[in-house]
Amino acid sequence: MANTGHPTMRRALRREIAGTIGLLTDEHDFRTMRRYRTFGFDNHTEYLREVEALLKSLAAQGNHTTVALFDPEEYAEFCTDTGLDPDAPTSRTRFTAELATTGPTIAYDGQPLAELVPHLVDEAVRQATWEYAATLLARIGACASCGEDIGHAAFTRASNLLIRILDTAPQGNKHLVCSVMTPAETLVAVLHADDDREGAQELDEAEALEFTTVLALGIATQSPGGLVMRTTAPGTTDHIYGWRLRDNGVEPLTAGEVFDAYCTDADSGDLISPEPDVDYCAPPDLGEADPMTGHAH
């Protein structure tokens, strides 16, 4: 007969519980948290070592654990908004539970912490970029001439443009970068589109949403910016080409402009040797934009 005693049942239940650990990834954030008496660590390196040991222990027990980026400033604001005591372990637990639903997380599957942390930081930067771009896009409001929502129209135009860019790209894996200069900072979004065995393109929905939002912001505000595509396929050279943002869309870069951008040191202006087996080229013709997509004023 199977043992269904309380200890056995509790061990089984623990394996059914998914947990989240809020991680202080850098020394500055760690020092900020040390101001709380109940925060029981005084060395960041040792703290990271203990976190990794805990993750390994939980994984060995069959538990699914995700890691979230713990931001001390956001934590302090959370405690102020909720009326919680920031110098209490239960408050940190409440905040970490909130991160599990609203913040970027990475699932722990046995990878070293040194490998997990950069991915977690990249995910946090990606989410922050999307939130910032979406906020600016929403603030633009309606056109004074026709009343159309400019941000919504720009998003529609950006979505249509992205589809045309992907549809006209050569077969293979695609790496697309969009950069838009805002008054505060330059926003950068990255999109990967890999061909599956049948040749269909596989996109990460979160990446696609962020990319389209940043591109839409550039279109709506007519900000300086551009897009660069790199395609890679077995048995052929890589292709790199791009566009600059112009008016309500994009303008193709010449092969020479692409070459100069990739083969010139941005700081010194010195020439850099081109990569081997790379074709710096003009982009394919995207065709005419749908006149019904996007705001035309």
Both tokens assigned to 285: 């013709």
CB 260 within 8 A of CB 239: no
d(CA 51, CA 55): 6
What pLDDT score was predicted for residue 266?
A: 67
Both tokens assigned to 281: 């080229």
Q: What is the largest CA-CA distance in the chain?
A: 78
What pLDDT score was predicted for residue 3?
A: 47
Tokens 């940190």, located at residue:
92
d(CA 232, CA 193): 11
**C-alpha angle with apex 44: 77 to 71, nearest 5 degrees?**
20
> Helix axis angle, 72-82 relative to 89-102, nearest 10°?
100
Cβ-proximal residues to 76 (8 Å cutoff; 6+ apart), any chain: 86
Name the residue among 190, 173, 192 with its Cα closest to residue 236.
173
Tokens 């269909």, located at residue:
200
At 155, the amino acid letter reads: F
CB 29 within 8 A of CB 91: no
d(CA 223, CA 218): 5
> Helix axis angle, 113-139 relative to 205-221, nearest 10°?
40
Cβ-proximal residues to 236 (8 Å cutoff; 6+ apart), any chain: 172
269 HSE (CA, 13 A, CB side)? 0
d(CA 178, CA 122): 16
Q: What is the DSSP string of 173-191?
A: EEEEEEEEE-SS-EEEEEE
CB 229 within 8 A of CB 283: yes
What pLDDT score was predicted for residue 6?
A: 57
Question: Which residues, given as ranges, of the chain have pLDDT below 50?
Answer: 1-3, 13
